[in-house]
Structure 1
Amino acid sequence: MQMATLTVWKFDAPESASQVERTLLGLQKQELITVVDAATVSWPVDARKPRTKQLTDLVGAGALSGSFWGLLFGLIFLVPLLGVVIGAAAGALGGKLSDVGIDDDFIESVKSQVTPGTSALFLLTRDEVLDRVRESLPPEHAELIRSNLDREQEARLREVFED
């Protein structure tokens, strides 16, 4: 099993991230990327908080649970997806996430860049040809934030969300 890559692509328009799902399906068919899991964040200018969506059409049996994305987005955007429970769990899980490369710097970087009027595509991938992926995304691509996960980190990430 090769190393997984958690990649965040930020776009300068609220609808751009959701428009790349078809592009990613094409890249998978060309075997330029293997999408393990994916989700989008769309933040209209006039909204108090972003809308999030797991891209279930792109992923197979290896996908993480929706609770992974819920927790990650809760930590980044303070979206109260699980009510009060997330407050207590966030501290413990936040520590576990930093063990897998999702640390405070990663969270702060995404939080400071994905703001009202933007969108983001969160990808957990394997075997990507990064330059070809970049070339395939819309021209309003603004920022790439990348955190590699080795096999051990990916296994720990899965353990965290299987509990």
Structure 2
Amino acid sequence: MSTETLTVWRFDTPEGAEETMHVLEELAREDLIDLHDAAALSWPSSTTKLRTIELHPAAGGSGGALGGSFWGLLLGFIFFVPLLGAALGTATGLISDSLSAVGIDDGFINRVRDRVTPGTSALFVLTTDSVVDSVRDMLGGRLPSDPIFTDLTDGQEAALRRVFGAGDSPVAGESAGAAAA
């Protein structure tokens, strides 16, 4: 069985991640890749608001396996918890421990936080490890060469799906949300 991988590619423009996600959706519709879930994060330099776009349900494959609650928790924890600091107290530790239990450790979170800054965007993709290489080959120069990734064990993937997913019949959705930093 292939390993599930959460990969993040950082783009130098606020539009890069969303544009690339649409290409991935098309590749999934054509059954060229099995895209389990994805979200694009855009951070224009002129604002403190982040915009997220989730994988569209028509993307094919098992798209939208985790859904908005997962992306909301992960992206909120990466980008907004540091701003709230001590106000959250022990809740921060509980969230961190929970994410670590499903393979998303502090090192991964800190690398994403350090690299995704105003004026950039990031594409978060959940796939099998073999798909990451295929995506890189198909998209060539469109993808940045230095992705941030974490491999998830079968148990961690199952835990993610239990908490955030819809089991064997995932429901995907598209949302454009913004939150002030």
Structure-2-length-normalised TM-score = 0.74
Shift of 1:89: 5.1
Name the structure 1 match of 2:178. Answer: none
Whole-angstrom CA distance in 2 between matches of 1:103 and 1:127:
18
1:72 counterpart = 2:65: no
Higher helix share: 2
Name which of 132, 142, 148 aligns with 2:151. 148
Q: Is the CA contact (8 Å cut-off) linking 2:17 and 2:41 kept in structure 1?
A: yes
Between the two proteins, the alignment pairs up a number of residues equal to: 158
Whole-angstrom CA distance in 2 between matches of 1:134 and 1:140:
7
Runs of at least 5 residues in structure 2 that lack an aligned partner in the other structure: 82-87, 166-181
Q: Is the CA contact (8 Å cut-off) linking 1:93 and 1:160 kept in structure 2?
A: no
Q: Is the CA contact (8 Å cut-off) linking 1:12 and 1:142 kept in structure 2?
A: no
Name the structure 2 match of 1:91. Answer: 93
Aligned runs of 1:8-157 on 2, under 5 Å?
Answer: 8-29=8-29, 31-57=31-57, 58=59, 60=62, 63-78=65-80, 87=88, 90-126=92-128, 128-135=130-137, 136=139, 138-139=141-142, 141=144, 143-157=146-160
Q: Secondary structure at the match of 1:18?
A: helix
1:160 counterpart = 2:157: no
Q: Give the 3 Å change call, closer, same or farther, for CA 119–61 of structure 1 in structure 2.
A: closer
Runs of at least 5 residues in structure 1 that lack an aligned partner in the other structure: 80-86
Whole-angstrom CA distance in 2 between matches of 1:61 and 1:31:
12
Structure-1-length-normalised TM-score = 0.81
- C-alpha root-mean-square deviation of aligned residues, in Å? 2.8
Shift of 1:17: 0.6
Q: Is the CA contact (8 Å cut-off) linking 1:76 and 1:108 kept in structure 2?
A: yes
Counting aligned pairs with the same residue, the percent is: 49
